[in-house]
Structure 1
Amino acid sequence: MTRAHLPGILAMAAIVVASNILVQFLFGQWLTWGAFTYPLAFLVTDVMNRVYGVGPARKVVIAGFAVGVACSLIGAQIQGEFGPLVTLRIAMGSGLAFLTAQLLDVAVFDRLRAGRWWRAPLVSTLVGSTVDTAIFFTVAFSSWLVFLEPGNDVSWANEALPLLGWGPVVPLWVSLAAADWMVKLSLALLALMPFRLIVKRLTAQAV
């Protein structure tokens, strides 16, 4: 890791911290404000991967994971209206989802780096985002995994409701996951231009 990689580490850390704070604030019925900041982590990972390679990208991911663990430990000590802000299942889901999805993003990006400039960041982010959403919401809220934290009541997240208010009847957490996933996919497309511009600027500076 060199000084050139420090901005990537700081950017990832800032995104993780901001997302952990903003996830406490609702945006509409199905989302939190954290849903709009967290996907930027994939942008940071992809920029690092394109400019510096797989090794530095993975190190930035590990740094982000460490910051996320620290945030979870702090959140577990803060009591909200219904108990700790971060339960064991949320901490487990968050950490496992972040590490798995980001490392998968790095691997997929590397496999596709020789193609068109937009292919690697778009496909890797779509794959990573999908895995991230599936792991986090399943581990954190599904009734199937209640044995992970028997004392944590997740019945509210398993209330049967129409998907996003109008689809088939599913547990509430599935609607929350679907809304989160759609935001991630939308931001994956919007992030292509910043990705292109940032990569060009960093590449020019390195010459």
Structure 2
Amino acid sequence: MQRHHIPGIIAMAAIVVASNILVQFLFGQWLTWGAFTYPLAFLVTDVMNRVYGVAAARRVVVAGFITGVICSAIGTQIQGEFGPLVTWRIAAGSGLAFLTAQLVDIVIFDRLRDQRWWRAPLASTLVGSSLDTAIFFTVAFSASLTFLEPGNDTSWAAEALPLLGTGPVAPLWVSLAVADWMVKLSLALIALVPFRIIVGAMTARTT
């Protein structure tokens, strides 16, 4: 590991830790505060990919994954009002979603890196974020996967409600997933601004 990779690793670890803490606090009916910090992981990955390349981005992702595993392991041992703060399904969904989404992000970014500056970070983040949301919420809450952790009661997530309170009837977890996905898409656009600024500053420093 090279010294210039360390800031990216620290940033990724900090985002993962912060998101694991903030996910415990609700923001409105459909979101948690963690929904606003977690997408920054894609920004870190894309900056590292642009400035230092694929290998550096993968190192940062691995560091984030290891940090997430540690956070999840700790969360499974902390008892909240309704049981452990992190169930094994949530832990599995979180780890699988993070690793898959981030690695796909890296591949897409690399394939588009020679096109206009905004295409690689935007396309890779949009695809990665969509994968992340779909994998996490399906593994963690879908009734079709209760066999993964039979002792974990996720019946609350299967409650049939109007989508986001106004749409067609769907399981509650689908509304949670859609709300999370919408935040990720919005932040993918907003993140283009700091991406441009940070990459410009880091590139100038390394030349």
> Shorter-chain-normalised TM-score: which range?
over 0.9
1:97 aligns with 2:117: no
Counterpart Cα distance in 2 of 1:204 and 1:113? 18
Which residue number in structure 1 is paired with residue 202 of structure 2? 202
What residue ranges of structure 1 are gaps of 5+ in the alignment? none
TM-score by length of 1: 1.00
Which residue number in structure 2 is paired with residue 152 of structure 1? 152
Which residue number in structure 2 is paired with residue 120 of structure 1? 120
TM-score by length of 2: 1.00
1:46 aligns with 2:50: no
What residue ranges of structure 2 are gaps of 5+ in the alignment? none
Which residue number in structure 2 is paired with residue 134 of structure 1? 134
Deviation per residue, 1:41-68 (Å, 9 max, x gap): 0000000000000000001000000000
- What is the Cα deviation at residue 72 of structure 1? 0.3
- What is the Cα deviation at residue 160 of structure 1? 0.1
- What is the Cα deviation at residue 104 of structure 1? 0.3
Which residue number in structure 2 is paired with residue 14 of structure 1? 14
- What is the Cα deviation at residue 135 of structure 1? 0.1
Counterpart Cα distance in 2 of 1:104 and 1:58? 11
- What is the Cα deviation at residue 179 of structure 1? 0.1
Counterpart Cα distance in 2 of 1:33 and 1:21? 9
Q: Secondary structure at the match of 2:126?
A: helix
Identity over aligned pairs, percent: 80
Amino acid across the alignment from 2:136: F
Counterparts of 1:21-40 in structure 2, within 5 Å, are 21-40=21-40
Which residue number in structure 2 is paired with residue 172 of structure 1? 172
Which residue number in structure 1 is paired with residue 77 of structure 2? 77
Amino acid across the alignment from 2:18: A
Counterpart Cα distance in 1 of 2:5 and 2:145? 38
Counterpart Cα distance in 1 of 2:2 and 2:59? 11
Deviation per residue, 1:1-52 (Å, 9 max, x gap): 2110100000000000000000000000000000000000000000000000
Q: Secondary structure at the match of 1:150?
A: coil
Q: Number of aligned residue pairs: give it.
A: 207
Counterpart Cα distance in 2 of 1:85 and 1:107? 33
- What is the Cα deviation at residue 118 of structure 1? 0.1
Amino acid across the alignment from 1:200: G
- What is the Cα deviation at residue 129 of structure 1? 0.1
Q: CA RMSD in A?
A: 0.3
Counterpart Cα distance in 1 of 2:38 and 2:193? 18
Where in structure 1 do 4 or more consecutive aligned residues deviate above 2 Å? Answer: none
1:190 aligns with 2:198: no
Counterpart Cα distance in 2 of 1:73 and 1:176? 23
Counterpart Cα distance in 1 of 2:204 and 2:4? 13
- What is the Cα deviation at residue 101 of structure 1? 0.1
- What is the Cα deviation at residue 97 of structure 1? 0.1
